[in-house]
Structure 1
């Protein structure tokens, strides 16, 4: 089991997850795509990635556009254990 900082969000009828990751994960398209797909399945909702330091976003574009106007500190973060 790995520990993740995850925010589970329901906004305007869209249920999604935001996962905090190291910035280098977002820099690698192949790694980022695989992680978004795996987290989406495990969490049962679309997932996007948020770089922990630079706050870059990666994932479904409608969710990314919405999150660009949201301060990451305002998201409902929680530490979760997710099977790898």
Structure 2
């Protein structure tokens, strides 16, 4: 089992998830794509990855654009444990 920081957001009628990851994940195409697919299947909604320190993002462009104008501390973070 692993525990992740996840924010479930509804903005302008779009429901999506934001998953906090280590910064190196964003720069690793294979790892980031696998994580996005895993979380989309887990949450049943689009997912964006957010790097922990540099706050780089990866995912659907409309969500990434919205997220660029939001302070990550204001997102409704929760811990999610998955197998």
Query: What is aligned with 1:82?
Result: 82
Using the size of structure 2 for normalisation, the TM-score is 0.97
1:49 match: secondary structure: strand
Equivalent residue pairs, number: 83
Whole-Å separation in 1 of the counterparts to 2:60 and 2:34: 13
Using the size of structure 1 for normalisation, the TM-score is 0.96
1:53 match: secondary structure: coil
Whole-Å separation in 2 of the counterparts to 1:82 and 1:27: 23
- Extract unaligned runs of 5+ from structure 1: none
Whole-Å separation in 2 of the counterparts to 1:66 and 1:14: 11
